Amino acid sequence: MRDDPFTDQVWTQVSWTGRLPTLFRTTKGQHMSLAADFGLTLTQHVLANQADHPDARGQLSALLTQIGVAGKLISAQVRRAGLIEVWGATGETNVQGERVQKLDQIANDTMIEVLRRSGCVAAMASEEEDDFVVVEGEASGDYIVVFDPLDGSSNIDVGVSIGTIFGIYRQTPSEKVSLDSILKSGREQVAAGYIVYGSSTVLVYSAGRTVDCFTLDPSSGEFFLTRQDVRMPSRTTLLSLNECNEPYWETWVPKLLSSVKGRNEPNHRTVSARHIGSLVVDFHRNLVKGGLYLYPINAISGRGKLRLLYECNPLAFIAEVAGGAASDGHTAILDIKPEKLHQRVGLIIGPADDVALAETLINEA
C-alpha cells in the first residue's frame, strides 16, 4: 500500500503475478468505482505478457487486442438483438435502409473483417464458413485463427447469454496456407479464449501461462482485468448437460452422473445442476465455480455434436491452463488430430478428477 502525496488517495496492490501488478485506488479507506480503478486494461495486460517473450514481434499482442475490438463490436450488436429482430420482421431493410442480417452472420462478418484488417492473420476458419478463409497479400500475417462467432445459436433470439470462442495457431512462415495448416491439434494453439455476452461482457484469454478474465466497462469501452490467474475448482459442484439426451447415452453416462450426484449428503446438497445450453457460457460458469460439462457422443449414431476445432479445442486449452481437463472419453481433446474442418466430437470438460473418472468408466464399459 502506498500514499499518493498529491491527493488523498491510497493505492493498494491487491495481487502480483509475474510482472502484472493490479492496483486499486481508494480514498482514505473508501472504495471508488471509477473505471480507471478497475485494474489493467486488456491491451496493457497483453503487452505486459509480451514483455516475457523478448523475441516476440508483437503480432500476437496486436491480434489479441483486435479480438477484443471485435468482441466490443459484437457485444454492441448483441445488446440490440431484440431491436434487430423488430427491423427484420418489417422486411429485408431497416429504417436506415441497411440490410438486415441475422446476429450470427453479423458476428461472423465482424470477426472476419476485424481479423483481416489486423494484418496478423494468414487464414481463418469459422463455424459459419464452409471453407477456410485465406488472407492474401500484404494484409497477411503470422497466425491462423479458428472461431465460433456466436455460440449458443438457439439462445440468440431469447435474450439468453451467448459467446464467441477463438483459438490461435502460428502459421509456419513461408508455408502456403492449406487445409493442413488449419487442421492442427489443439495442443499447438499458442493462445485461446472466448467472449461471453451475458449480464456483462467478459473476455477470457490465455497464452498458455495463466487464464485471465476482463470485463467490458460500457462507459469507457475498455476491457478491465477482473479475475487474474483463474484456477478451476478441483471439485465438481455443478453438473451441466442436456438430460433429455438420455435415450442416446452410452452406459457410462448414468454411472458417472450417479457417482457425482451420490456425493450429496442426506442434509446437505454439494452438487447441483446448471445448464444454459450455450456451451461457452456453461463452460465459463463451470470454470469459475467448479462444474463438469458433458456432451457425450450419441450412442446410436456414434457421433458427437460439438465441433472440435473452434468449440472444444479453445475451451480445452483454457481448461488445462486453469488446472482442469477435457476429453472425448478416450483422448485428451487437445491431442486429437483433426481430420475435417467441421469435425464433431464428444466432450467431457471440467475438474480433472471427474474427467478422468469418465474415461475410466468408458474404458470399463
Q: Which residues bind ligand FDP (CB under 6 A)?
A: 151-154, 242, 277-279, 305-306, 311
Closer residue to ligand FDP (CB): 151 or 354: 151
Closer residue to ligand FDP (CB): 135 or 312: 312
- Nearest distance from C-beta of residue 99 to ligand FDP, angstroms: 23
Closer residue to ligand FDP (CB): 222 or 311: 311
Closer residue to ligand FDP (CB): 92 or 243: 243
Q: What are the backbone dihedrals phi and psi of residue 89, each rounded to the nearest 5 degrees, phi first?
A: -70, -25
Q: Quote the CA–CA distance of 75 and 54 in Å, as a whole number.
A: 33
Closer residue to ligand FDP (CB): 121 or 253: 253
Q: What are the backbone dihedrals phi and psi of residue 330, each rounded to the nearest 5 degrees, phi first?
A: -125, -35
- Nearest distance from C-beta of residue 106 to ligand FDP, angstroms: 16
- Nearest distance from C-beta of residue 230 to ligand FDP, angstroms: 21
Closer residue to ligand FDP (CB): 128 or 188: 128
- Nearest distance from C-beta of residue 102 to ligand FDP, angstroms: 13
Closer residue to ligand FDP (CB): 225 or 341: 341
* Residues 225, 338 contacting (CB under 8 angstroms): no
- Nearest distance from C-beta of residue 292 to ligand FDP, angstroms: 14
- Nearest distance from C-beta of residue 244 to ligand FDP, angstroms: 8
- Nearest distance from C-beta of residue 155 to ligand FDP, angstroms: 6
- Nearest distance from C-beta of residue 319 to ligand FDP, angstroms: 15
Closer residue to ligand FDP (CB): 280 or 361: 280
